[in-house]
Structure 1
């Protein structure tokens, strides 16, 4: 546990000096979403910040999947333990994950929420630890229940390795 806390503090300090990309967009329904898997593994740190407008406590199941324009994606099922306050109002939670390495910048985030309490994330920050260039996604919207919702989209040109994050 102490290692995780130290890693979170270290990466927070480093990220402020490296700059980040950000995206502000409302979540959209994504019923055709499928989870992929690959063999090359990298380490990721995901930090969620729950809005002050969110419910004071949630027992809802929260899952995330993020990835790049090349189809690499990391699945983070059931991040929270309903007995904890990980996603409560004002809370900041950090999760260490392992998953396939990204071959281009992270350019989307899918969020799943199941339950009756509700959850309004203010932002989600994703660090690929080998690269240390985080992406921060600003939400500040209620995540609807029982469906995958996608934030952002990828615009990838294979030869030039260009990724753009856009909002509507």
Structure 2
């Protein structure tokens, strides 16, 4: 029984999705799209939810870039498609994206160009060599700037320090269960 409990607790800690909940998105001051490595090809699933406070639909052009702490970057120049009713108010849209392989995704930026002031709620990314991660926006994207999160050096990102913390939790839980 103890072994099953230990396995379940360890699995919950190791495979819990990451969330960027405590930070607010920022304008990217020195974001560079020209540095894209080509380390294999991976598939990603990106789910973008649009706020119920957003316009009914948007004519804005929406671009996306995300990546890891090692410079692996995935760039999608256009996600929007008004003929397909993408980014409507109170909706979620899923995109299958192929791009260079990345390790744990720790940053995401959206770029909006247009008159409608589209408001995303969340951006969820999974695939590649990364555990699923959710970035909470809940605010309008400024026009003509890259806007989002860079948690690559933040303690809540799953870079090396976060992996160490999870590993320590696993060890502590295992020791506690052995003592019971």
Counterpart for residue 53 of structure 1: 53
Find the residue that maps to 2:44 and give its secondary structure.
Answer: strand
Alignment of 1:121-140 (within 5 A): 121-129=120-128, 133-140=131-138
Residue among 139, 142, 147 paired with 2:140 = 142
Q: Based on CA coordinates, which of the two structures has the bigger radius of gyration?
A: 2
Give the distance between the partners of 2:82 and 2:161, measured in 1 at CA: 36
Q: Is the 8 A contact 1:155 1:163 kept in 2?
A: no
Report the Cα offset of residue 96 of structure 1.
0.7
Q: Relative to structure 1, is the Cα distance of residues 33 and 56 closer, same or farther in structure 2, using a 3 angstrom cutoff? A: same
Q: How big is each residue's C-alpha offset from its partner over 1:112-147, in whole Å with a ceiling of 9 and x where there is no partner?
A: 00000011111010011555x210111111111111
CA distance in 2, matches of 1:31, 1:147: 9
Secondary structure of the structure 1 residue equivalent to 2:102: coil
The equivalent of 2:87 in structure 1 is 87
RMSD over equivalenced CA pairs, Å: 1.8
1:59-102 CA distances to partner (integer Å, 9 max, x unpaired)? 10011100000010100111011233210101110111111111
Runs (4+) of structure 1 exceeding 3 A deviation are none
Residue 163 of structure 1 deviates from its aligned partner by 5.5
Q: Distance in 2 between matches of 1:130 and 1:66?
A: 13
Any gaps of 5 or more consecutive residues in structure 2?
1-14, 163-180
**TM, length-normalised to structure 1:** 0.77
1:108 maps to which residue? 107
Gapped runs of 5+ residues in structure 1? 1-17
Corresponding residue SS for 1:83: helix
Q: Distance in 1 between matches of 2:28 and 2:150?
A: 12
Alignment of 1:54-73 (within 5 A): 54-73=54-73
Distance 2:115 2:87 in 1: 14
Question: Alignment partner of 2:141: what SS?
Answer: coil
- Decide which structure has greater helix share: 2
